[in-house]
Amino acid sequence: MFIPRAGTRGQAPLLIPHNRDSEETRPMDTAFFFIQLLNGLQYGLLLFLVACGLTLIFGIMGIINLAHGSFYMIGAYIAWSLASMTGNLALAILLGIPLTVLLGMLLEWLLFRYLYARDHLYQVLMTYGLILVFEELRSLVWGDDVHGVAVPALLAGSIPLTDNLSYPIYRLAISVICLVLAGGLYWLIQKTRLGMMIRAGSTNREMVQALGINIKLLYTLIFALGVALAAFAGMIAAPVSSVYPNMGAQVLIICFVVVVIGGIGSVWGALLASVLIGLTDTFGKVLLPEYAGVSTYLLMALVLLWRPEGLFKRI
Amino acid sequence: MAEPLLEATCIHTYYGVSHILHGVDFRIGKGEAVGLMGRNGMGKTTLIRSMLGHVRPRQGKVCLRGEDVTESAPHRIARLGVAYVPEGRGIFPNLTVKENLLMAAREGVDGRREWTYQRVLETFPRLAERLDHGGGQLSGGEQQMLTIGRALLTNPDLLILDEATEGLAPLIARDIWRIIGDIRGSGIATVIVDKNYAAVMDLADRCVVMIKGTVVFDDASDKLTGEIVQKYLGV
């Protein structure tokens, strides 16, 4: 059985394995530093995709969703299995997104909407149960093996930085895609009417309804958005992290750290916190490898000492 | 009386085990203004919430334009042309003034767009000066204007104002009363709940007085004599 515990991180490859490209280089020269910087950013931005759904769902619906990491795993497995069928990762992702949106809507409609009025304890119980269900289903459907997903041919190369250092294009592409999505999310939340409703819904549910807005539908959409973003993160991460059982657990724990640092319910806080965590974790592993496991938690402790409510207030 | 717009019959509402409304009848016609009176805790807000779908009455029936909406979701009732300015105002502090106004703006039931963003800003010039401020940064009077303006932008046929002038400085309250008068004059039916009974009686065609979850008076405003006011409202 799987127990989400902070200590499990060392066993399987982390979200994205770091400094694989540069193990030989000890001195912290510019190119090496630059590579770590890109790695940290890319890791952080990917975390953001998962964490923003977690923080939105908590901030607006008040749900602590322990199963959120499972959506990351489900995304990765969907990408792997569709890519094996079609032979094309981009196509697999395009097919996978609507599937995960549907999954999100279905789960919200079947299960999560009954949790809104409930105590956090019930939420934790049900969503922890869901982790177990998802892991078992994953085992039944896809098995327990580790799978690799090929990087799309178009993005397969690397950019040479020095004689013996280079940076894979696919990782850059991940960062760019995440940044574009973060921009899209900013636009959605800050500039559209739907975004205004989402923000309003986080403060006064009854008033939103009294203005003629279907809050149940709004919640279903927000939940599905969160699920799809987490799953999408799993899909684009699959080629670099590979696809393996329990991959959601590690992401979940670090995403809770992100949400707490960023301020619960704050999307922009989550963005800043994700990048901070990404950089802390990456440079922590390089500079203080013996303390790598605690660097992010140390960051969390420091931020909370300074600002107990996290960096930002609610969306 | 005018053609009925909202009609509640024999409403019984409970909060948990406490029986709040004991068979309340309430109706308002198209374009009518009704004052809903009663001391604190007599069930005025509960009646409003029961009619708008926020609380389910255990017994009774609510009809809007003849359609049974007793079981309807609050947003469905709102979309049938009812706007609600709740006690405590209900502005969204994390949205700007402009966003508060625009988030729910829509045309009325029959496609009317009498209230536009522009017209609301003309009616409430103070809001026009504060468009980019957060809703939470406004003064009490400005917040009230914002809530009323936001309600008007849904182009309602019925506007329900619960304690719209509560806690406002007299000058600002007077402003709000003037605006409520204008709204009433524009043909929107209004339900007005307010402690300022004189002002309510002045504006309303009809007054309804509630005591302990029942209606004890429901007649034209000029029939509400000082004696009755003294007896039921203790003023």
At B221 the pLDDT is 86
> How does pLDDT run across A233-283, given as a tens digit for each residue?
999 999 999 999 989 998 999 999 999 999 988 899 999 999 999 999 999
Angle in degrees, CA B103, B109, B113, rounded to 5:
60
Q: Is A91's pLDDT higher than 70?
A: yes
For residues A287 and A40, give the distance between their C-alpha atoms in angstroms, rounded to a whole number.
13
Q: What are the φ and ψ backbone dihedral angles of A147, each rounded to 5 degrees?
A: -125, 150
For residues A168 and A156, give the distance between their C-alpha atoms in angstroms, rounded to a whole number.
7
Q: What is the mean predicted confidence (pLDDT) over A141-167?
A: 88
- Chain B residues whose beta carbon lies within 8 Å of the beta carbon of residue A204: 90, 92
Distance from CA of B229 to the nearest CA of A (A): 32
For A19-33, A76-90, B25-39, which range has the lowest pLDDT when averaged over its residues?
A19-33
Domain locations in chain B as residue ranges: 4-233
Residue type, A266: S
Which of A 154-193 lie inside 8 A of B, CB atoms?
Answer: 193
At A161 the pLDDT is 79
How high does pLDDT run on average in chain A? 88
Q: How many Cβ atoms from other residues are within 10 Å of residue B86's Cβ?
A: 22
Q: Is B112's pLDDT higher than 90?
A: no
At A2 the pLDDT is 43
Q: What is the mean predicted confidence (pLDDT) over A58-68?
A: 92
pLDDT band of residue A1 (cuts 50, 70, 90) is very low
How high does pLDDT run on average in chain B? 91
The answer to whether the CB atoms of B75 and A202 lie below 8 A apart is: no
Share of chain A above pLDDT 70, in %: 90
At A5 the pLDDT is 39
Q: Is A29's pLDDT higher than 90?
A: no
Instruction: Please write down the long-range contacts of B231-235, taking CB distance under 8 Å and 24 or more positions apart.
Output: B232/B37, B232/B38, B233/B37, B233/B38, B233/B39, B233/B197, B233/B209, B234/B39, B235/B197
- ipTM of the complex, rounded to two decimals: 0.90
At B29 the pLDDT is 94
Name residue B193's beta-bridge partners.
B36, B162
Q: Is A4's pLDDT higher than 50?
A: no
Q: Which string of DSSP letters, residue by residue, matches A217-280?
A: HHHHHHHHHHHHHHHHHHHHHHHHH-B-TTHHHHHHHHHHHHHHHH-TT-HHHHHHHHHHHHHH
At A26 the pLDDT is 53
- Chain B residues whose beta carbon lies within 8 Å of the beta carbon of residue A198: none
Q: Is A22's pLDDT higher than 60?
A: no
Q: Does B227 touch chain A (CB under 8 A)?
A: no
Q: Is A15's pLDDT higher than 60?
A: no
Q: Which residues contact A117 (CB under 8 A, 6 or more apart)?
A: none
> How does pLDDT run across A197-223, given as a tens digit for each residue?
999 988 888 999 999 999 999 999 999
For A285-289, A302-306, B34-38, B148-152, which range has the lowest pLDDT when averaged over its residues?
A285-289
- Chain A residues whose beta carbon lies within 8 Å of the beta carbon of residue B75: 209-215
The domains located in chain A, with CATH, are: 31-306 (1.10.3470)
Share of chain B above pLDDT 90, in %: 71
Q: What is the mean predicted confidence (pLDDT) over A161-187?
A: 91
**Nearest-CA residue of chain A relative to B55?**
A206
Alpha carbon of A308 to those of A31, A40, A202, A257: distances in Å? 37, 25, 20, 13
Q: Is A8's pLDDT higher than 60?
A: no
The answer to whether the CB atoms of B52 and A210 lie below 8 A apart is: yes
Q: Is A1 exposed, middle or buried (0-12, 13-18, 19+ CB in 10 A)?
A: exposed
At A3 the pLDDT is 41
For residues B126 and B148, give the distance between their C-alpha atoms in angstroms, rounded to a whole number.
13
Asked if A46 and A236 count as a contact pair (C-beta separation under 8 A), the reply is: yes
Q: Is B119's pLDDT higher than 90?
A: yes
Token reading at A158: 């690397």
Q: Is the dihedral of CA A250, A256, A257, A262 positive or negative?
A: positive
Name residue B90's beta-bridge partners.
none
At B209 the pLDDT is 93
Alpha carbon of B193 to those of A32, A47, A246, A286, B49: distances in Å? 70, 50, 58, 67, 13
pLDDT band of residue A315 (cuts 50, 70, 90) is low
Q: Which residues contact A294 (CB under 8 A, 6 or more apart)?
A: none
The CATH architecture one would assign to domain B4-233 is: 3-Layer(aba) Sandwich (3.40)
Q: Is A229's pLDDT higher than 60?
A: yes
At B210 the pLDDT is 93
At A50 the pLDDT is 96
pLDDT band of residue A28 (cuts 50, 70, 90) is low
Q: Residue B30, SS3?
A: coil
Q: How many Cβ atoms from other residues are within 10 Å of residue B210's Cβ?
A: 24
pLDDT band of residue B230 (cuts 50, 70, 90) is confident
Chain-centre distance for alpha carbon B219: 19
pLDDT band of residue A7 (cuts 50, 70, 90) is very low
The answer to whether the CB atoms of A206 and B99 lie below 8 A apart is: no
- Chain B residues whose beta carbon lies within 8 Å of the beta carbon of residue A314: 94
Q: Is A12's pLDDT higher than 80?
A: no
Residue in B75, B84, B92 closest to A203 by CB: B92
The answer to whether the CB atoms of A196 and B99 lie below 8 A apart is: yes
At B104 the pLDDT is 87
- Chain B residues whose beta carbon lies within 8 Å of the beta carbon of residue A199: 92, 94-95, 99
Q: What is the mean predicted confidence (pLDDT) over A146-158?
A: 89
